Amino acid sequence: IVETGNTLTLNANSNLGSGNLTLISQGGVQQNAGGGITAGGLGVKGSGTFDLNNASNDVTTFAANVSGGVTFSDGNGFSLGQVTSSVPGSGGNDTQTTTGLTTNNNDAILDSGTGGLTLSASSNLGSGNLTLISQGGVTQFGTGSITAGGLGLQGTGTFDLNNASNDVTTFAANVSGGVTFSDGNGFSVGQVTSSVPGSGGNDTQTTTGLTTNNNDAILDSGTGGLTLNASSNLGSGNLTLISQGGVQQNAGGGITAGGLGVQGNGTFDLNNAPVITAVFAANINGSLLYSGLNSVAIGTVASTVGSDSVTTSGLNIGGRQLPSNSQVTSETKVEIGGSATVATGTTKISCSRNIEQAKEENQESKSKSRLVLINGRETSVDPVTRLTVDEINEKESTDFNDDGNCVNLELNADNVRQ
Quote the mean pLDDT of the chain. Answer: 81
Q: Of 295, 293, 305, which Cα lies nearest the Cα of 242?
A: 305
Cα(412)–Cα(376) distance, integer angstroms: 11
Q: What is the pLDDT of residues 119-151, one digit of tens each?
A: 999 999 999 999 999 999 999 998 999 999 999
Cα(410)–Cα(397) distance, integer angstroms: 9
DSSP run (H or E) holding 310: strand 308-313
Between strands 371-373 and 334-336, the pairing is parallel
Q: Of 356, 417, 412, 415, which Cα lies nearest the Cα of 391?
A: 415
| Domain boundaries defined on the chain | 1-213, 225-418
Q: Of 206, 152, 163, which Cα lies nearest the Cα of 185?
A: 163
Residue 85 has pLDDT above 70, yes or no: yes
The residues near 41 (Cβ < 8 Å, ≥ 6 apart) are 20, 21, 59, 60, 61, 62, 63, 81, 83, 84, 85
Using pLDDT thresholds of 50, 70 and 90, give the confidence band for residue 369: very low
Q: Are 102 and 66 spatial neighbours (Cβ–Cβ below 8 Å)?
A: yes
Q: What is the pLDDT of residues 245-302, one digit of tens each?
A: 999 999 999 999 999 999 999 889 888 898 999 888 888 887 788 777 766 777 899 9
Query: Averaged over 4-33, what is the pLDDT?
Result: 97
Q: What is the pLDDT of residue 328?
A: 58
* DSSP summary character for residue 397: H
Cα(135)–Cα(243) distance, integer angstroms: 29
pTM: 0.83
Q: Are 218 and 237 spatial neighbours (Cβ–Cβ below 8 Å)?
A: no
Residues forming a β-bridge with 275 = 255
Cα separation values, 130 from 10, 28, 412, Å: 24, 18, 45
Residue 237 has pLDDT above 60, yes or no: yes
